[in-house]
Structure 1
Amino acid sequence: MQQKVLVIENSQVSLNLMEKLVHKANLTPIGARSLTEAQYKFSHATPEDYLCAVVGYQLPDAPRGEAIDFTTSAFLPTIVVTDEISNDVRDAVLARDVVDYVPKENNQVYDYIARLLARLDKNRHIGVLVVHGRRGPRAYMASLLYRHNFSVFQVGSAKDAMAALAQRPNIQLVLTDSALPDESGTRFIANLRKLFSKEQLAIIGIADGNSAALSAHFLKSGANDFLRLPFCHEEFLCRIMQNVELMENVESIRSAANTDYLTGLSNRRHFFYTLSMGYQTLPTPHALALLDLDFFKTVNDTHGHDAGDAVLKAVAALLTRHFNDELVARFGGEEFCVYLPQTDADTAIERLEAFRRQVAALKVEVDQGGPLTVTVSIGMTFQPANSIEALLSAADRLLYQAKAQGRNQVCSDS
């Protein structure tokens, strides 16, 4: 079920617009045009169903931000929107424990609100580590991060930070002071970069003082970004959001490069890369299987390429379920590959035979002429080899043998 967002706006036009932004973030808006209406709707719902609130600063029955006090006291992360742009209003809003303050000054702010709503949902799964020798600044930064739904961890030294990173694989962002009790901030960052790339872990340096060279030292040591104390509340959270989104964008690009667009399986390039990075020498015992759908061209010629795509996706889904603990890839066309490390011949044959039978029993629903059935021929090698290319050549010869012997069978060299 989608999480709810409480939207409190005086104007029906503004309320409709905010509800559209909530839908854009794949969330469910619950609208109200006054504080009284919002209190009623919230009291008749389960509070845990709500992700956050979007609140107008001025309402008929809450002219000075009283609705903000209601949502923050209900422990709802609160985004405040205002028609009025003034320092007095800004200061009044930011004096409260809000997620952010967004004046309606141009169209870009609406895109920002949509991104912010989506972030509040995603941030629950992202760990942020705050590393600072003094409790006050550490607690302040943590309090801002908690408002954005991050999973926050606090430590006071580089040693404790390394231990936290080893124990908490969900940590994706580190905020570190320039002068830690046991190590300089730049040395700490340099040590982190030996273990984590910028795509794996974002690092933001935090420092007091006016040294112009300090930011350069941080960045040259491997930091993604730098903030100087005292920082602006809004700048701090914008920098956090930008760094997290940059990491996510890089991961999306990497995933697109490594994934077959149709089936969602790894592609041939990623298959080779994973094996080369995972094994300096290929382990034994092991098995490698090449799988090819029988008479697949007939499916495309008779039923069309949409039907062929449906068959490929159905077989890929079956591969994923059956070999969810192994490396599986689509090599192209109707050909797939499965690598099974530390697997003896009897076990591998049993698993591939079971998969072959499941494919033969598969019925794929298509728009015309369905359901379709298909079979698969499999060539599997168990021979020790110095390279993945040698294994593939052996498996390919066995696959050709399976085709020549009548298809819908497993041929192996065990």
Structure 2
Amino acid sequence: MQQKVLVIESSDTSLKRVSRLVRKAGLSPVGADSLIQARQLFEHSTPETFLCAIVAYALPDAPRGEAIDFTTGAFLPTIAVTEDINPLTRSAVLERQVIDYVPKENAQNYDYLHRLLKRLHKNKYTGVMVVSNDRQVRNDMTSLLLRHNFVVYECTCAADAYQLLGAHPHIRLILTTNTLPDASGTQFVSSLRKALSKEQLGIIGIAGAEGTIMSAHFIKSGANDFLRIPYCHEEALCRIMQNVEYMESVQAIREAANTDYLTGLSNRRHFFYEVNLGYSSLPTPHSLALLDLDFFKRINDDYGHDAGDAVLKAIARLITQHFDNAVFARFGGEEFCVYFPHSEAGDVLKRLEAFRLDVEQSCIVHEGHELHVTTSIGVCSYDDSDIDTLLREADKRLYRAKHLGRNQICSSD
């Protein structure tokens, strides 16, 4: 697993500062104060364990970027750190195959470095597609994207792009020129927007001399952004990062709105949204179960709310393991709900019984205490009932299971 970052910096203060940023990003810094030491460290490490390298442009034994040449030559994604933003230094850095460069001039630049480190890790799981029948355009953009750890796909026409997008759902961004053999770029963008919103798929248009006109055409057709050829390395990177991070931010907001903060399961509101969206026409047969933990208040009273939280998280993990093809949620407190579409009543009862036994036999250790809990379950399996009816009947049966002594399943009135 790529958890290490090679940091080559002759200044002890800068080395410590960058190392703190690396650790803040959840990674492990491997420090070297010279090119010689970096070579020695790298020789005794597995290159695949390094996510990237952060390298000072000028070192006592490598004054003109030789350390950058060493890390890029080892195919290690490299972020250059410079003392200043002198145009000559900037050009010397950017003519190499670096990810980016960060001047040391202020604290904000170090914040950018931290953001870049986190981005490099996320990019390993983010697909980007370059669509163009111009080989040079594809090669230049692909080279830039690969340096940043993106999973890159190339194609020359709209038809191939549709197939790739369908086969690889982790593609989050498309960069396309306007001249495709089977469609114009704006037609391609417009057709994509009919299926996927700007929050689901980012699109950046690319054009050359006609860029002034094409930028408006692309944006009006549904593109998120635009790049004009020839583009600046840094501008292209900033636009790509901003679009990917925008989509991730929207996704994070949606997840926060739809997810129970403690257990990570869906919340009640999102449960009904999922069920009504995916099963608007009633599947036959189907079932719904309400699960409630027995005497849960005692755990909070005897061991504290942190212990209660640990129990709820453990039960949520069991629900996820037992009901992987069902729709489930935490309804609030110690109550959970599971909906079983296209499921026979007998099979549902078997799965619920296996879950009940697993809960009963589980030992949840929290701060040296062994915690045990049981669950009462009410389940309804009326084939022709809507979700509200199933929920109402399951609630009655849950109450009956509690009344009959708890730690059991009640499936009849």
Q: Same fold (TM over 0.5)?
A: yes
CA distance in 2: counterparts of 1:14 and 1:62, whole angstroms: 17
CA distance in 2: counterparts of 1:300 and 1:29, whole angstroms: 41
CA distance in 2: counterparts of 1:145 and 1:367, whole angstroms: 46
SS where residue 319 of structure 1 aligns? helix
Q: What's the counterpart of residue 390 of structure 1?
A: 389
The alpha carbon displacement at 1:386 in A equals 4.9
Q: What's the counterpart of residue 253 of structure 2?
A: 253
**Aligned 8 A contact 2:2 2:50 in 1:** no
Distance 1:211 1:237, change over 3 A: closer
Superposed CA offset, 1:351-403 (max 9, x none): 111111122222233448x4232221111111024531121112111112212
Distance 1:211 1:243, change over 3 A: closer
What is the percentage of aligned positions where both structures have the same residue? 61
CA distance in 2: counterparts of 1:76 and 1:381, whole angstroms: 57
Superposed CA offset, 1:230-288 (max 9, x none): 11011101111111111111111111111111111111011111111112212112211
What is the 5 A alignment of 1:215-230?
Answer: 215-230=215-230
SS where residue 370 of structure 2 aligns? coil
**Aligned 8 A contact 1:7 1:29 in 2:** yes
CA distance in 2: counterparts of 1:321 and 1:243, whole angstroms: 35
CA distance in 2: counterparts of 1:374 and 1:79, whole angstroms: 51
Q: What's the counterpart of residue 342 of structure 1?
A: 342
CA distance in 1: counterparts of 2:211 and 2:52, whole angstroms: 39
After TM superposition, the structure 1 stretch with the greater mean CA deviation from structure 2, 215-224 or 54-63, is 215-224
The alpha carbon displacement at 1:2 in A equals 5.7
Superposed CA offset, 1:320-379 (max 9, x none): 1221222111001111001112211111111111111122222233448x4232221111
CA distance in 1: counterparts of 2:311 and 2:347, whole angstroms: 27
Q: What's the counterpart of residue 29 of structure 1?
A: 29
CA distance in 2: counterparts of 1:262 and 1:311, whole angstroms: 11
Amino acid corresponding to residue 10 of structure 1 in structure 2? S
Superposed CA offset, 1:199-255 (max 9, x none): 221111111125544322222221111111111011101111111111111111111
Q: What's the counterpart of residue 289 of structure 1?
A: 289
CA distance in 2: counterparts of 1:42 and 1:145, whole angstroms: 25
CA distance in 2: counterparts of 1:273 and 1:219, whole angstroms: 32
Distance 1:303 1:22, change over 3 A: closer
CA distance in 1: counterparts of 2:2 and 2:412, whole angstroms: 52
Give the unaligned 5+ runs of structure 2. none
**Aligned 8 A contact 1:2 1:26 in 2:** no
Amino acid corresponding to residue 93 of structure 2 in structure 1? V
Q: What's the counterpart of residue 241 of structure 2?
A: 241
Q: What's the counterpart of residue 43 of structure 2?
A: 43
**Aligned 8 A contact 1:281 1:386 in 2:** no
Q: What's the counterpart of residue 112 of structure 1?
A: 112
CA distance in 2: counterparts of 1:163 and 1:326, whole angstroms: 29
Q: What's the counterpart of residue 128 of structure 2?
A: 128
CA distance in 2: counterparts of 1:24 and 1:306, whole angstroms: 26
TM-score norm. by structure 1 comes to: 0.96
Amino acid corresponding to residue 70 of structure 1 in structure 2? F
Superposed CA offset, 1:152-174 (max 9, x none): 11111111111111121221110
Q: What's the counterpart of residue 9 of structure 2?
A: 9
Paired positions, count: 413
Q: What's the counterpart of residue 352 of structure 2?
A: 352
Q: What's the counterpart of residue 373 of structure 1?
A: 372
Distance 1:215 1:19, change over 3 A: same
CA distance in 2: counterparts of 1:15 and 1:383, whole angstroms: 66
Amino acid corresponding to residue 408 of structure 1 in structure 2? N
Q: What's the counterpart of residue 205 of structure 2?
A: 205
The alpha carbon displacement at 1:119 in A equals 1.3
